[in-house]
A = this chain, B = another copy of it.
Amino acid sequence: MYDILGIGNAIVDVVAPAEHSFLSKHDMHPGSMTLIDADRAEALYAAMPPGAETSGGSAANTCAVAAALGSRVAFLGKVAGDQLGGVFRHDITAAGVHFPTAPLAEGAPTARCLILVTPDGQRTMNTFLGACVAFTEHDVDTALVGHATVTYLEGYLFDPPAAQAAFRRAAKAARAAQRQVALSLSDAFCVNRHRDAFRGLLPDVDILFANEAEVCALYEVNDFREAVDAARTDVSIAALTQSESGSVIVRGRETVRVRAAPAVLVDSTGAGDAYAAGFLAAYTRGRDLGVCGRLGSLAAAEVISHYGARPQADLREMADAVI
């Protein structure tokens, strides 16, 4: 049995500090995630400052944080059989996450995300999907889905075309096994790319994770409150984050507001992923929505206080204190 099964793009992050002038010189939209091809990845990497390689990927980050918080976690995602694939596999396994997906034998290399962190702590991401495009529905073990309390799907998984089928297969298998499905909208631009598909999926989603920009993009509204009310009727639970203003969690007519935990922002990469991890770690242990949100806020605060999207501190004490 697993508390959480995450499915997402298996990515190694290359994180480097940069000035805003670097972003504008290279036509990057600050704070966004842009998909890039192999040539652009090579050119951008050559122009980037020295970096640090750490395992990333949105759902994979959530899995690693949830495991650090004591949850039983598995992850599905595609790496290549190269050195960076080895790094990804090592890190997620060492975090305590079961990772059964076979590596891609030949073809594209392991995905990487070139992340520029500006002095304000904002991250701007450039993702070369590489081996992730070879993740298909055949990589979804429906028995494993049936053994997980929550199957957690990242919206970014809609970008590599074959993964959409995998996504749908996983959601369907979870429903069939009377398990729950959680969806993270990932990024407002991702929502714009796949709005209709996401809207079509909502009847199969129990828990929706999104930030303010993402949920507003989903419903094409400018007012966060409007988006919150729309989410109330579409999904059982919506956990909607607002950066330093904390989060709003709604379940039907119930509304829970949670403050952000204090943190010195160094690198915002993985903040939403960590929030979802804390939320689900508490949720799968049957805690109420306030506790879920509080653990989400604490986990996010840890992750944004240093470079990289995976925890650097021992999170067991944090979990024990809150749950």
* A:52-102 near B, CB below 8 Å: 52-55, 64, 82-84, 87, 90-92, 94-95
Which residues of the partner chain B approach A82 to less than 8 Å between Cβ atoms? 83
Kindly identify which residue among B45, B51, B91, B307 contacts A51, using a CB–CB cutoff of 8 Å.
Answer: B91
Kindly identify which residue among B46, B83, B87 contacts A109, using a CB–CB cutoff of 8 Å.
Answer: B83
Give the distance to chain B from A113, nearest Cβ to Cβ, in Å.
14
* A:269-300 near B, CB below 8 Å: none
Which residues of the partner chain B approach A245 to less than 8 Å between Cβ atoms? none
The reply on A123 being an interface residue by CB < 8 A is: no
Interface range for A: 20 to 34
**Contact present for B52 and A53 (CB under 8 Å):** yes
Q: Can you list 18 A-B pairs with a CB-CB distance of less than 8 A?
A: A45-B90, A46-B90, A48-B90, A50-B55, A50-B64, A50-B91, A51-B54, A51-B90, A51-B91, A51-B94, A52-B52, A52-B54, A53-B54, A53-B87, A82-B83, A83-B83, A83-B109, A307-B312
Q: Spell out A's residues near B (CB within 8 Å).
A: 17, 45-46, 48-55, 64, 82-84, 87, 90-92, 94-95, 109, 307-308, 310, 312
